[in-house]
Structure 1
């Protein structure tokens, strides 16, 4: 089932404005908590936006299941359903870049993906401070602010990208990472939403991640693929699937040529 992409985009924007932007810069001490560590924040805005998105999205596709980041944090078994069930799922990160949000940095967004039978069918990334949405539908291309996105032009300068490699393990941390750091210019991936938008727009060339959650990546991977990019694991070239993976590098690029160049370095 394909839902109306513009209707979903409108719902995301409305909820982001009402539940997230109204709290930006106004969080009380009791509005902020942490999850896995002192820098893994969750706020009242995350919870409120997720609850609103769940209600709205299930209203559009009642037969789908819902997996939100905050719900999965409370019950990790929710993500196991992606491996054992073959139905439809809404995968949602209500507030990606929560650390930025808490610290007043205007780089945070909402990410929504629709998965059917293990396949990413549609994706939305809403850059909340900029009020812009990237939308992708499998086989129908991708757009940013309503303008069709196309494959990035070939690079004539050094490649630039994002890194989120703190969870690499074994040889990937000890051997691959030092070579990667020496070969390519990167900056920290502080917000998956903005990283994927910038990849799709050709502002950056690649991202590398070592802790891969479906709510951070499914929508962005679809959008990048729709413009001719690639998302796959460096270890064996296995394509990204909407699952939880930790320890090995996921490389996402705006073109297949760049993926090959980086993975073989």
Structure 2
């Protein structure tokens, strides 16, 4: 494991607490998300910052259920859900000072979900003073989790509590890499330059779902992911999952990743691969992406 994402070495949650959280996420998906999939009416889908930034009744219902249960389990924790924070952005200012903060992305990949594409997930993280110390990435369609905790391995948790430890790839030269990069989320004047790097790779795309992009890297099925939309809920779970699987995680400018930072987050299979990617993408540092509450 690398030291690119400094975190405390002690686990933030007990095994019993982690089991409770896994069960909670499963219940929320079974109650609020899966019953609505491919059954949403137009009045159950709304927009936030633009026509492609969607929110559905499933997002709202799942977040309310998860947040309510977490606040009962952890009365003194700060709970930051995507939908609540989008309407109340002042809560984001409390993250850096919070000893324990839960972030919730109730349906990551809402555009996919709303369009009937079965590629979406639920993400939850625990932060200590803005640093991720626990991450959970759930696929409701398959009913499995990728979880990671400070000081421990990254695991795939399947039904019947079957577990498998995950490792990132060994990386390699640019021409051999498979990864993800978000052309639509970088500044307009940098989009063509970013797209021009794509032929250099073995394969590069976007899944429109940070949960599954991070899962692919953490499980050794892809080599890197570049994130350009810095929110409190889109990245911390994936960042710790990739790091604890052996990857290298840092902001594109080389600084440590902390929730609340502006710019770009680059997660790669190892430090050497991360360095090659940073050199390729460093033109983006001239125009850092702005944080959004979407």
Normalization by structure 1: what TM-score?
0.91
Larger strand fraction of residues: 1
1:260 maps to which of 266, 269, 275? 275
For 2:73, the equivalent position in structure 1 comes to: 60
Report the Cα distance in structure 1 between the residues aligned to 2:226 and 2:144, rounded to whole angstroms: 24
Q: CA deviation at 1:170?
A: 8.7
Which residue, out of 25, 28, 48, partners 1:35? Answer: 48
Q: Identify if the C-alpha distance between structure 1 residues 44 and 175 changes in structure 2 by more than 3 Å, giving closer, same or farther.
A: closer
Deviation at 1:241, TM superposition (A): 1.0
Of 138, 157, 163, the residue aligned with 2:181 is 163
Partner residue, 2:136: 124
Q: Which aligned pairs between 1:180-199 and structure 2 lie closer than 5 A? A: 180-184=197-201, 185-199=203-217
Asked if residue 213 in structure 1 is aligned to residue 231 in structure 2, the reply is: yes
Is the CA contact (8 Å cut-off) linking 1:165 and 1:211 kept in structure 2?
Answer: no
In the TM superposition, structure 1's runs of 4+ consecutive aligned residues that sit over 4 Å from their partners are 154-157
Taking the aligned partners of 1:251 and 1:241, their CA distance within structure 2 comes to 13
Contact 2:166 2:220 in 1 (8 A): no
Number of residue pairs aligned between Structure 1 and Structure 2: 260
Tell me, in whole angstroms, the C-alpha distance in 2 between the residues paired with 1:155 and 1:210: 23
Structure-2 separation of matches of 1:60 and 1:120: 19
Mapped to 2, the partners of 1:28 and 1:142 lie a distance apart of 38
Q: Does residue 149 of structure 1 match 2:160?
A: no
The 1-side partners of 2:269 and 2:51 are apart by: 33
Aligned to 1:2: 13
Which residue among 251, 256, 264 is the counterpart of 1:233?
Answer: 251
Shift of 1:10: 1.6
What is the TM-score normalised by the length of structure 2?
Answer: 0.82
Instruction: For 1:165 and 1:233, locate their aligned partners in 2 and report how far apart those are by CA, in whole Å.
Output: 17
Matches of 2:91 and 2:55, distance apart in 1: 18
For 1:233 and 1:180, how far apart are their aligned partners in 2?
19
Name the structure, 1 or 2, with higher relative contact order (CA <8 Å, separation 6+): 2
C-alpha distance after superposition, 1:39-70 (max 9, x if no partner): 11100000000000001112221110111000
Q: Is the 8 A contact 1:228 1:256 kept in 2?
A: no
What stretches of structure 1 of length at least 5 have no aligned partner? none
Secondary structure of the residue that 2:146 maps to in structure 1?
Answer: strand
Change in 2 beyond 3 A, CA 1:175/1:165? closer
Change (3 A) 1:10 1:72: same
Specify whether residues 104 and 167 from structure 1 end up closer, same or farther in structure 2 by C-alpha distance, changes over 3 A only.
closer
- Distance in structure 2 (CA, Å) of the matches to 1:24 and 1:244: 33
| Separation in structure 1 between the aligned mates of residue 125 and residue 246 of structure 2, nearest angstrom | 19
